[in-house]
A and B are shown apart, each in its own frame.
Chain A
Amino acid sequence: MSAELPLIMIKDVNYSYPNGTIALKDINLNLYRGELIGIMGKNGAGKTTLIRTLNGLIRPTQGEIYVNNKNINTATIATLSKKVGIIFQNASHQLFANTVEDEIKFSLKSFNLSKEESQMRTNQILHQFNLEKYRERSPLNLSGGESKKLAIASIFCRDPDILIFDEPTLGQDAREIEFFIRLIEKERENDKTIIIITHNIEFAFEFIPRTILMADGKIIADGPTQKVLNCEELIEKSSLILPQSRQFSLALQALGFQNTDTLFSKAEVTKYLMQFIKNSSGSAQKR
C-alpha cells in the first residue's frame, strides 16, 4: 500500500476556531484509494472538524491537504464537493425540495447535465436506495431511516471518489444498518475511499479495517481496528469502552480460563467457547 500514492494526504494540519479553541493539532495522515477508515474519539476530539477540512468547509490555519495529489487549500467547496461527499449526521439539515425526486435532482444541478441524463441518474439512484415508491412524496414526510437514506442517496448520485459519513448508524434500526453495510461494501468494490465517523464500537470492530483514534485534536492511534480498539490505554484516553468480545474474553480470564488473552473478535471467542463446550461434554461423557 505504501508504494501507492495516497488519495488524501494531510500534512501538519492545525486548526483553531475564531474564538481561539484549538480543534486540530499537527494532523498527519495518508488515506488510500479503496480504503474503509473509521474515525473514533470522544465528543470534541476534532473528528468532525477534520472531515470538514477535506471538502473545504473549513480551511486549516496551518498545514496542507492534498486530494488526488492536488493541494486543496485554495480549491472552492463547489469543486471539492464533486470529489469529496460528506453525509452529515442530521438528514433534516439538507432536505427541502417538494419531492424525493427533486431532492436528488438538486444534488445533480451543479453538474450541468442534460434533462435526460439527470432523470436517468435520478432513476438509477432511487432504484439503488429502494426509494422509487416515495418518488413523488415530500422528503419532509419520510421516516427517520428513509430521510437518512435519501440524504445518503443525494450524495451518492454525485459519485464522489471519497465518501465521508458522520455517525451513519445513529438512530438506525438493525435493517437500516444492514442496508448501509451492504452499500459501503459495494462502494468499496468500486474503489471508493470511505471514511466513517462513529461512536458505535461494535460496528467499527466488525466492519472497519482501519481505525483512527482522536483525542484533544490529535491523532492518538492509527492502525488495524482490532489492534487499536483492543488497547485498554487508548480506549481509556478516548472515552470509549472495549468491544463486547474483548470484555467477554477478559471476564473469562478473570474466571481462570486459560489462553484467553489472544481472543479479540466475536469469532475467536465463539470458537474458543465451542471448543471448551466440546471438551467439557467429551470429558463428562467419559466419566
Chain B
Amino acid sequence: MSLEFLNAFKFMKKDSFLHNLDPRAKLFLAIVYTITALLFNQIIPLFLIFLSLIPLVIIGKIFRQWVKSIRGLSFLVIFMIVLNTLFISLSFAIAMILRIFIMVSAFSIFFLTVDPNSLALSLISMKLPYEFAFSFSLAFRFVPTIAKEAQNIIDAQQSRGYEMQAKGIINQIKNLFPLLIPLIICSIKRAFNVAEALESRAFGSKKERSYYYTIKYTIKDWIFTFYLVLFLTAFIIIKIQFNIMPEFFLWGLPV
C-alpha cells in the first residue's frame, strides 16, 4: 500500500498564474467550488463544475499531481459506488463521486499552489490570531511528513508479517491498530518536540510581530475573485431556476 497520493497535497514552488495568486483568492476558490458542488445532486451540473476545474489545473501546471490526488480516491470511489447503487441509484452514486472529485480537486489546487508561509500570512490578514494561523500552516506543512511516517510504519509492520488485508469489517478495523497507534504516538511526540523548539525560540513572547514577507491583493486577484463570484452566482441561479433549465440538465442513468 502506498501513501504516495498524499504528496498530491504538497506545495511545489512553480511559476504559474495560480501560484502567483494571493492565497486568499485561492481559499475563496476552494470555498466557492465546495459550495457549488453541494448545491446539486444531478450528474450534468456537477460534471460541468468538474470540467471547469480542468483549465485551472492546466494553468497551474499541476496536472500530474492533481491526477494523483484523484487516483488516491479510488478506494473511496468503489465504496461509494457499491453503497449508493445498492441503497439509492447508480446515477446518485456517480453524482456523489463527482461531488467528491470537485471538493478534493479544489482543495488539491489550494494546497498545491499555496506556500504554507503565505497561508499563515493570509490568515493573519484575515484577523486570525497569529498562534492559530501558525498552527494551521504548521499542520498543513506536516501532511507529507505524516504520510512518509505512515509509509514507514506500514513497511516496519509488514516486515514482521503484518498483512494489510483482513476478512470482515471488525477484523479490518482491528487490523488498523498496528498502524494507527504508532502513527498517533509518533505524531504526539513530534508535536511536543515542535512545541519545545518553538518555546525555546521565544514563540509568542511579543504580541506585536513584524513580518519579513507581506502579501497584497493585486488587480489580478480581484479579477479572479470576480470570476469566482460570477461562477457562484451563475450556479446559484441554475439551482433556483432548475425546473426551467434544459431537460438534459436532469439527465440520469436509467434505474
Contacts and interface: CB of A to CB of B under 8 A. Distances in A.
Genuine A/B complex: yes
Nearest to B179: A96
B31 interface: no
Given A93-B156, A94-B156, A78 B161 contact: yes
B153 to A, nearest CB: 5
A93 B181 CA distance: 9
Most B CB contacts (10 A, CB to CB) among A19, A81, A86, A96 go to A96
A106 B178 CA distance: 9
Q: How large is the interface on B (under 10, 10 to 19, 20 to 34, 35 or more residues)?
A: 20 to 34
A95 to B, nearest CB: 6
Contacts of A57: 155, 158-159
B177 interface: yes
Contacts of B155: 52, 57, 86, 88
Given A52-B155, A140-B185, A96 B177 contact: yes
A96 B156 CA distance: 12
B159 A155 contact: yes
A154 B7 CA distance: 31
A77 interface: yes
Contact of B153 (A19, A86, A94, A154): A94
Nearest to B154: A57
A85 B156 CA distance: 10
A92 interface: yes
Contacts of A110: 161-163
Contact of B161 (A18, A52, A95, A109): A109
A82 B157 CA distance: 13
Contact of A81 (B4, B152, B158, B177): B158
A246 interface: no
Contact of B182 (A18, A86, A93): A93
A106 B158 CA distance: 12
Nearest to B189: A92
B53 to A, nearest CB: 23
Contacts, number: 68
B221 interface: no
Contact of A88 (B2, B156, B161, B189): B156
A94 B152 CA distance: 9
Given A57-B158, A82-B161, A88 B182 contact: no
B4 A18 contact: yes
A56 to B, nearest CB: 8
Nearest to A95: B182
B167 interface: no
Interface string A69-90: 0000000011001100110101
A231 B171 CA distance: 54
Contacts of A111: 161
B160 interface: yes
A166 to B, nearest CB: 10
A18 B160 CA distance: 25
Interface residues of A, number: 27
A158 interface: yes
A106 B174 CA distance: 13
A85 B159 contact: yes
B186 A106 contact: no
A256 B157 CA distance: 56
A158 B155 CA distance: 16
A72 to B, nearest CB: 14
B149 interface: yes
B161 A96 contact: no
Contact of A93 (B4, B7, B152): B152
Contact of B152 (A18, A90, A109): A90
Contacts of B2: 18
A99 to B, nearest CB: 13
A92 B185 contact: yes
A93 B163 contact: no
A273 B241 CA distance: 96
Nearest to B64: A19
Interface in A94-132: 94-96, 106-107, 109-111
Given A18-B4, A106-B178, A93 B161 contact: no
A55 B182 CA distance: 22
Nearest to A87: B159
A155 B162 CA distance: 12
A136 to B, nearest CB: 18
A271 to B, nearest CB: 43
Q: Which 10 A-B pairs have the closest CB atoms?
A: A110-B161, A96-B181, A94-B156, A86-B159, A93-B156, A107-B160, A88-B156, A77-B158, A93-B153, A57-B155
23 contacts: A77-B158, A78-B158, A78-B161, A78-B163, A81-B159, A86-B155, A88-B152, A88-B159, A90-B152, A92-B182, A92-B189, A93-B153, A93-B156, A93-B186, A95-B182, A96-B177, A96-B185, A106-B160, A106-B178, A107-B160, A107-B161, A110-B161, A110-B163
